[in-house]
């Protein structure tokens, strides 16, 4: 499908994308670009990429440039890439926030060669060692501002994600960030907060982790996620995250109130209402 693909950022998402390209033979050559030389070499050793090189050299010889780096770094790097590309090249990002990036490149002369995407998949691990084969199959990919991308570039990227086994959803950038705050970003903040709560309590009770069961482990799993990736996500989507966080705090206060007042009926009502999530998550 592609002669040469450059992946900027060969960690969890970029690395898994590289593996998918190779497994499905969607690219003849995969180049890795990373600001960390050790990360780039690890991706090369793991067979995620065929070669590593600097950004300018890599972009010059690529059909597709796939950007999978923290969202704050993506803004300047995307401008650098768009400044360099030819009319036949395509640029894609995989960031978890979309509005800041789409706004940033809105007036760029090469905006049409950019397709804003968010493959909705990830784990709590990071780095090329965390890359997973067949990671995207059965998952959803959000494409934002599709109407602002060149039809040929858009069609190529739609086919690429479909070949990876993903279903496609189309949103405006602002709407994406609102939905992402609810279904992803608040989950990570909650997990970070719960981990800090338990770590604070551990100072008093050394045995607390010995008693931690599967429920705790699954709930706090996301707290192992990379702060370097998630801090910029929370800040870029700050207003939406604050809105969801305020609602989450209000819900926690309801549970607190039901226990303080020994209101068993209200406690059961809160949990029964929460069970309605089964209609969405089966």
The residue ranges of every structural domain in the chain are: 2-171, 176-279
Any idea which residue has 């690395």 for tokens? 15
Nearest to residue 98, comparing CAs of 121, 80, 114, 81?
114
Binned at pLDDT 50, 70 and 90, residue 243 comes out as very high
Ramachandran region of residue 159, left (φ > 0), alpha (ψ -120 to 50) or beta? Answer: alpha
In the chain, % of residues over pLDDT 70 = 95
In the chain, % of residues over pLDDT 90 = 87
Give dist(CA 113, CA 153) in Å, integer.
6
Give dist(CA 12, CA 21) in Å, integer.
14
Question: What pLDDT does 208 receive?
Answer: 67
Give dist(CA 212, CA 210) in Å, integer.
6
In tens, the pLDDT along 105-152 reads 999 999 999 999 999 999 999 999 999 999 999 999 999 999 999 999
Q: E strands of 103-195, at which residues?
A: 114-119, 140-144, 167-171
Question: What pLDDT does 205 receive?
Answer: 63
Mean pLDDT of the chain: 94
Looking at domain 2-171, its CATH architecture is 3-Layer(aba) Sandwich (3.40)
Question: What pLDDT does 215 receive?
Answer: 73
All residues at 6 or more sequence positions from 248 whose CB lies less than 8 Å from its CB, including other chains: 186, 190
Cβ neighbours, 10 Å, residue 56: 11
Binned at pLDDT 50, 70 and 90, residue 60 comes out as very high
- Specify the fold of 176-279: 6-phosphogluconate dehydrogenase C-terminal fold (1.10.3660)
User: Which range is least confidently modeled, 6-15, 46-55, 211-220, 259-268?
Assistant: 211-220
Q: Which residues pair with 115 in a beta bridge?
A: 92
Query: Is the whole model's pTM more than 0.85, yes or no?
Result: yes
Question: What pLDDT does 218 receive?
Answer: 80
Residue 35 has pLDDT above 80, yes or no: yes
């Amino acid at each position: 499908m592609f002669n040469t693909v450059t992946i900027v950022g060969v960690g969890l998402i970029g690395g898994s994308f590289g593996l998918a390209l190779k497994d499905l033979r969607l690219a003849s050559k995969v180049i890795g670009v990373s600001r960390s030389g050790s990360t780039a070499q690890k991706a090369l050793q793991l067979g995620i990429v065929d070669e590593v090189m600097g950004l300018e050299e890599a972009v010059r010889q690529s059909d597709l440039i796939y950007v999978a780096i923290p969202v704050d770094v993506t803004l300047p790097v995307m401008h650098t890439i768009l400044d360099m590309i030819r009319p036949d090249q395509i640029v894609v990002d995989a960031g978890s926030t979309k509005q800041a990036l789409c706004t940033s490149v809105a007036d760029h002369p090469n905006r049409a060669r950019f397709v804003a995407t968010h493959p909705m998949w990830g784990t709590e691990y990071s780095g090329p060692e965390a890359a997973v084969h067949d990671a995207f199959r059965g998952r959803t990919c959000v494409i934002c501002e599709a109407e602002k991308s060149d039809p040929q570039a858009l069609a190529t990227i739609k086919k690429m994600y479909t070949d990876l086994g993903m279903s496609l959803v189309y949103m405006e950038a602002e709407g994406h960030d609102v939905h992402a705050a609810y279904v992803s970003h608040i989950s990570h903040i909650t997990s970070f907060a719960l981990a800090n709560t338990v770590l604070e309590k551990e100072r008093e009770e050394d045995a607390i982790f010995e008693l931690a069961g599967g429920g705790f482990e699954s709930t706090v799993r996301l707290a192992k996620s990379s702060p370097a990736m998630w801090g910029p996500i929370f800040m870029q989507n700050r207003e939406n995250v604050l809105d969801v966080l305020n609602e989450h705090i209000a819900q926690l206060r309801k549970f607190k109130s039901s226990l303080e007042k020994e209101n068993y009926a209200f406690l059961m009502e809160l949990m029964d209402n929460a069970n309605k999530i089964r209609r969405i998550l089966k």
